[in-house]
Amino acid sequence: MKFSANDVYLDVNEQSVDSFLKYASQVACNAGFAADASELEQSFLAREQEYPTGLEDGFAIPHAKTETVKRPGFIYFRLTTPLDWQTYDDKPVTDVFALMVPPENAGDEHLKMLASLSTALLEDDFKQELRQLTSKEEIANFINQKIGE
Amino acid sequence: MNVVGVSACPAGLAHTPMAAKALEKAGKELDWNVRIEQQGMMGPVNPITQAEADAADFVLIASDQKITSMERFEGKPIIRVDINTCIKAPKAVLKKCAAAVKKEN
């Protein structure tokens, strides 16, 4: 299971959480993660309404769990405009990992990868090192190295 | 302190393992024995055995979801805490729970 440099999006500029999730859903569909962008977007929005997925230090992990997901996995977005996302420490969000799975048969390998990514976000070192990387390849290699452990 | 518990979130994807890891890490820092079972999309991960449940001072349920196999914990003090609070402030959650349990006894 590898996270690809193609699934890293830098300099993303959206003005609100909702417009970002719409954009992210379209990107995910174009990249083959899901079939229907609007269904994917609805799933992201429903999860945010249940409880916002903002974490600490400018990170958020919106997730979609819907039939329209064809390829379980995640996309990393780095934002140029910090978003006013509800977070644990009230800091705005600049880094987003969008997680996507189908409701059934996501595959343990994929689920483990998403679990490793989520728990990596509890580590200050992971967040700080990730932020220092500027190329998509470096970012993908770093993430693979950290969550493959 | 000897603590067992279960974490579970709506999707069973990210917050479940995050809460478990955050609480276990906080346990290490406090020098307590903390073990959290994850009830997520993968089914039970790191399941709590009956023997572990019996030895626990209290049971921490990091969830507002329905938890399976609660019968393991019969007779033990059970405390439910919001899963986001457990991720955000795991050490404070453990200490508060322990204080509450001590007060009861």
Domains of chain A by start residue, with CATH: 5-147 (3.40.930.10)
Cα–Cα distance for residue pair A84/A61, rounded to 1 Å: 14
End-to-end Cα separation, chain B, in angstroms: 14
Structural domain harbouring B59 = 2-104
Q: pLDDT category, A2, cuts 50, 70, 90? A: confident
Catalytic residue check, B9: yes
Question: Residue B50, Cβ neighbours under 10 Å: how many?
Answer: 11
Q: Characterise A9 by phi-psi region: left (phi > 0), alpha (psi -120 to 50), beta (else).
A: beta
Residue of B11, B17, B88 lying closest to A119 (CB–CB): B17
Strands A73-83 and A93-101: antiparallel
End-to-end Cα separation, chain A, in angstroms: 12
Domain count, chain B: 1
C-beta atoms of B25 and A63 within 8 A:
no
The residues, any chain, with a CB within 8 Å of residue A16's CB and separated by 6 or more, are: A83, A84
Give residue A61's pLDDT.
98
B13 in reach of chain A (CB within 8 A): yes
Residue A1 has pLDDT above 80, yes or no: no
Q: pLDDT of A29-65, one tens digit each?
A: 999 999 999 999 999 999 999 999 999 999 999 999 9
CATH assignment at residue B71: 3.40.50.2300
Nearest Cα of chain B lies from the Cα of A50 at a distance, in angstroms, of 8
Q: Tokens 């299971």 identify what position? A: A1
Look up residue B68 and give its two tokens. Answer: 């399976």
- Average pLDDT of the segment spanning B53-73: 96
Residue A13 has pLDDT above 70, yes or no: yes
Q: Which residue blocks in chain A are alpha helix, DSSP H?
A: 17-30, 37-50, 108-120, 124-132, 136-147
